[in-house]
Structure 1
């Protein structure tokens, strides 16, 4: 039995769901986090003491941290597809997974929080501007990377496209002014058109 805890509007839950859908793996998703609560209940904290989503349960095995879940699902069920066989190609998948978690997503955190969760009259314009500027630096790296490339790593869709795709979806749908990034947009349109992506990228950002 495979169970995934987390609300679908969470960017981190989206990564796990997209991977499961890409690989046609059966799972039950349980709403948790945000308006659904649960994450501070003792039973949930026993699964993840951080009180965050997602959490994956699989036949008694428990795993938290979205990119750890993404790696686990991809390496266990997507070798040769989401998880390349070639060591050096796989190294680049890991590179982009780490970059998404340590650079791209943290850069946009304040812009997201301020424009989505803070009432308009209470927003910190300076905080938003600094966050947008930091995210633009990351977006420029992606735009340059995707010039002449169809996917993040190699010639095929991998777990790197899932992690980057979920983060890019959030960035591209924030109510802020952005610089034109034609290569980034072309790649995003390509991966967002995948059937498995429709499960997660149609959810409103909250």
Structure 2
């Protein structure tokens, strides 16, 4: 039995996307972020966050950890690379998304969308926009001459990075300086499995 707790309007979306890509049969319990510190969810994740995966008695939290686990267990012939170098690349790019891009994207989201108007800091948002130029350039250069991050096949590395950068479209971030990365991102986000997840609660 595989169950994913978390709303598609949260980081759980990337784990739902992975489950859909992998064709794993699962139950989805749409726990909203505001409900993540409920007594029931704290039993699953003592940090009080979503998503949480329960898979045949194994409990995993942190969305990137969930996705890497799912890909390794279920994606041997699809999302999971076949060799150790590929595994290293999947880890590298997944952590790149979390450390180099997500904090800046979250700063823009908080200061332009999520926070009440009187709690927004446009200078912080502008600094985050500037800070994102470097990781987008790294991504753009790495995609030159290849379809996806690890070569010609879509892998968990692409899914994880694209799921982070999906917020760039939400905040209408100008990506014109990195057209290769922009085209790659739209290709990844346009996949059928991701489109299905976006319709989930």
Alignment TM-score, normalising by the size of structure 1: 0.90
After superposition, residues 161-200 of structure 1 pair within 5 angstroms as 161-200=158-197
**Matched-pair contact (CA < 8 Å) for 2:176–2:182:** no
- Indicate whether 1:123 and 2:133 are aligned: no
After superposition, residues 101-180 of structure 1 pair within 5 angstroms as 101-180=98-177
- Separation of aligned partners in 2, 1:38 and 1:188: 31
After superposition, residues 14-163 of structure 1 pair within 5 angstroms as 14-34=13-33, 37-163=34-160
Q: Aligned pairs, how many?
A: 201
- Separation of aligned partners in 2, 1:40 and 1:153: 37
Gaps of 5+ in 1: none
Q: 1:90 to 1:176 in 2, by over 3 A?
A: closer
Q: Deviations over 1:173-205 (max 9, x none)?
A: 2145555321011111221222112123568xx
**Matched-pair contact (CA < 8 Å) for 2:98–2:164:** no
Larger mean Cα displacement after TM superposition, 98-107 or 66-75: 98-107
Deviation at 1:164, TM superposition (A): 0.9
Structure 2 counterpart of 1:6: 6
Deviation at 1:41, TM superposition (A): 1.5
Deviation at 1:154, TM superposition (A): 2.0
Deviation at 1:60, TM superposition (A): 2.5
Task: Indicate the SS of the match to 1:29.
Answer: strand
Larger mean Cα displacement after TM superposition, 84-93 or 172-181: 172-181
Q: Deviations over 1:63-122 (max 9, x none)?
A: 101111001110001013211111112211111011111211112221111112123454
Task: Indicate the SS of the match to 2:53.
Answer: strand
**CA-atom RMSD in angstroms:** 1.9
- Separation of aligned partners in 1, 2:150 and 2:144: 13
**Matched-pair contact (CA < 8 Å) for 2:175–2:182:** no
- Separation of aligned partners in 1, 2:172 and 2:154: 28
Task: Indicate the SS of the match to 2:31.
Answer: coil
Larger mean Cα displacement after TM superposition, 114-123 or 157-166: 114-123
- Separation of aligned partners in 2, 1:201 and 1:179: 25
